[in-house]
Chains A and B, each alone.
Chain A
Amino acid sequence: MNLKVTDFTLALLLLAIAAAMSIAALSFPPMPGQAFGPKLFPNIVASGFAFCALVLIRRAAKAKALKLGVVTPEWWNEPGRRGNLAILLLSIVAYTLLLEPVGYLITTFGVMVILMKRLGASWRATLIASFLGTAVTYLMFAYWLRVPLPPGLLAGIVR
């Protein structure tokens, strides 16, 4: 289960996407000598979104449910689980930012330890799994598939 919005909210969201797509498409140049150019498909997709939005609004009106809002699931009220989601997303962001300056081995190990501990693994399992996960993916990608993973702080120490 996760976050669900009302039909009316979804409709407004789709209308906003449709409007943004069409407004941006205004600046697309035409194809010389052709009736259709780069703006045709974005406009068709935007019209499709607008059509779907209208149908959703009609449905909401019929059901007398023209209201904005988010239907929060049960887990949303449990801070622990909301926190799990936040930490998952934040760890991806941190990973992306730190990967090149700090390097693959340190960043990966660090993020694995944080996530595993957060989700409730024992220290023993965390350390073993984080070490093996980091080492196996490193060997697989850096050696077998020859992907130059960023060495970061360990430059000169690892390949």
Chain B
Amino acid sequence: MGALIDAFPQAMALVFDPYTLGVGLLATMFGLFVGAMPGLTATMAVALLIPVTFFIPPVPALVAIVMSTSMAIFAGDIPGALLRIPGTPASAAYADDAYLLTKKGKGELALGICLVTSAIGGIFGTVILIVLAPPLADFALKFSMFEYFWLVTLGLTCAVFVTGNDLLRGMIGLLVGLAIACVGQDVTAGFPRYTFGIKELLSGVDFIPAMVGMFAVSELMRRVTENAGEADFAQTKFKSFFRGLWPVLKKYNFNIWRGNVIGTAIGILPGAGADIAAWISYSVGKKFSKTPETFGKGSEEGLVDAGAANNSAIAGAWVPALVFGIPGDSVTAVVIGMLQMKNIQPGPDIFTEKPVEMTALFIAFILANIIMIPLGIAAIRVAAKVLVIQRAVLLPLILLFCVVGSFAINNNAFAIWIMLAAGIVAWMMEANDIPIAPAILGIVLGDMLEKKFLTSMMQSDGRFGAFFERPIAAVLAAITVTVWVALAWKAWKGRGAK
């Protein structure tokens, strides 16, 4: 923690540098736009940003990612309230409530609740990140290969059961990711696996084009086969967003706290992000509400519950990502790939080795959630003009960003083939209800899992018992094995099915 405090002045100077602020502002507008456009998700915003961040210094790159994700998750509420179409999956839980409130002439209140609870949730998640991550990293310094092996395994297992209703399909998703991670030279002997003699595959499947393909190209493939609907706005002109807001927030202040805690905790869990946080907080809110019958029919309480959860999940997801290199959600999975390319290795040393970047990250989170209020209001006011942008123009422009971004990383057109293949795979997976998030975790963690296992085996001269000898490793192993057995049993019995 000391190193982080010492780095504070330098980090402040870096974040408030005009170049960084300029990049941050562009990323903010980009995040608001992508989040507000139905079908374009926060992860897609980050995937499209990554090629740009590849070429800029680490602090502006981190600021850009934090700004764009925070804004995108809030902005997803805007079309939810105005058109009944959630802008991102994280707003889907309460789109009906927001829309019906708007229809009742309470659009300002609905969006005001979304905006302010998002900002509070974002700041809460950030405080937990700041308070929790550095001490956790100190503790994690005691971990050896064995503990890491079990942590990664537990993280991957967790990703399987938090996404989707069908465990089996979650497992298939994870295996697809692990299979992709097998491509390229193997981590110990350097033997080329599944490269088909293509030299570009020797270092494995390029991460950035794969992410762009899985999150953006697959979405484009879905959208070109849909009918373009006419936008029918519930409200286009707005007065004050704060009138009548305070009594609602005061009345439901416990819900805000509860939503923040649920959101941050779900964010920390590997594989589950803002969308799952919003659904869970919403259903918990409904269960304990005095008026559960209003949920889904324009409930202010439901909005508070879910709105407070989704933005707090964003920062929460960074805790395992930074401390262990295990992403808490799809966004941080993409971020880990970016950090590694910038020679910043997530892990318990990150706070002592990169204190300036980490402090800058914390500052960026706080800043993002403060400027979210004025910029969010501005975004709502122009939404009715921007949301009518023609699909016929928007989709090709997104494709343009996908291809130029993929190409730019190595100046090699082969990356576009990877992007296309990843897009088709993700499109087919989604069509068959196989979740993408576990696959991403498999791609990101596959190498690490294999490396930790094989090097641990070498260290222990091939003795498998060594994985259970150290106390923390034994506890992690016991948890992991129990979860596995339960999962396999459930999948076999079919109880994991919907």
State whether these chains interact.
yes
Interface of B is mostly: helix
Contacts of B179 in A (CB 8 A): 17, 21, 42, 45, 49
Q: B384-427, CB under 8 A of A: which get 1 and which 0?
A: 00000011110111011101100110010100110110001001
In the complex, which range does the number of interface residues on chain A fall in? Answer: 35 or more
Stretch at the interface among B2-10, B189-197, B293-301: B189-197
Contacts of A41 in B (CB 8 A): 178, 182, 186, 446, 449-450, 453
Contacts of A34 in B (CB 8 A): 454, 457-458, 462
A31, A88, A148: the one contacting B224 at CB < 8 Å is: A88
Q: B217-231, CB under 8 A of A: which get 1 and which 0?
A: 100111011101000
- A154 within 8 A of partner (CB): no
Interface of A is mostly: helix
Q: Do A52 and B168 contact each other (CB < 8 Å), given the known contacts A41-B178, A133-B397?
A: yes
User: Roughly how many angstroms separate A120 CA and B211 CA in the complex, as a whole number?
Assistant: 28
Q: Do A4 and B396 contact each other (CB < 8 Å), given the known contacts A38-B191, A141-B408?
A: no
- A125 within 8 A of partner (CB): yes
Are A119 and B454 interface neighbours, CB within 8 A? no
Are A81 and B393 interface neighbours, CB within 8 A? no
* Interface set, chain A 103-139, CB cutoff 8 A to B: 104, 108, 111-112, 115-116, 119-121, 125-126, 129-130, 133-134, 137
Q: Do A95 and B403 contact each other (CB < 8 Å), given the known contacts A45-B175, A82-B225, A84-B224?
A: yes
Contacts of B404 in A (CB 8 A): 104, 108, 137, 141, 149
Contacts A21-B194, A137-B400, A147-B411 known; 13 new A-B pairs at CB < 8 A: A4-B433, A28-B186, A38-B186, A51-B488, A58-B492, A59-B497, A84-B225, A92-B419, A96-B403, A96-B416, A130-B396, A141-B404, A145-B55
User: Roughly how many angstroms separate A49 CA and B174 CA in the complex, as a whole number?
Assistant: 10
- Cβ-closest chain A residue relative to B183: A42
Q: A82-110, CB under 8 A of B: which get 1 and which 0?
A: 10110011011101100110001000100
In the complex, which range does the number of interface residues on chain B fall in? Answer: 35 or more
Q: Do A40 and B454 contact each other (CB < 8 Å), given the known contacts A56-B168, A92-B420, A115-B395?
A: yes
Are B400 and A112 interface neighbours, CB within 8 A? yes
Q: For B226, B396, B417, B432, which residue has the most chain A Cβ atoms within 10 angstroms? A: B396
Are A2 and B430 interface neighbours, CB within 8 A? yes
Enumerate the 7 nearest inter-chain pairs by beta-carbon distance, A residue then B residue, closest first: A119-B392, A121-B392, A38-B186, A115-B396, A145-B55, A84-B224, A2-B431
Are A119 and B168 interface neighbours, CB within 8 A? no
Are A115 and B399 interface neighbours, CB within 8 A? yes
Are A2 and B427 interface neighbours, CB within 8 A? yes
- Please list 14 pairs of residues, one from A and one from B, whose beta carbons are closer than 8 Å in the complex, sorted by A's number: A2-B225, A4-B431, A10-B172, A29-B189, A38-B189, A41-B178, A52-B491, A55-B492, A111-B396, A112-B396, A116-B392, A119-B392, A119-B396, A121-B392
> What is the minimal beta-carbon distance from A158 to any residue of chain B, in angstroms?
15
Contacts of A120 in B (CB 8 A): 228, 392
Are B168 and A45 interface neighbours, CB within 8 A? no
- B494 within 8 A of partner (CB): yes
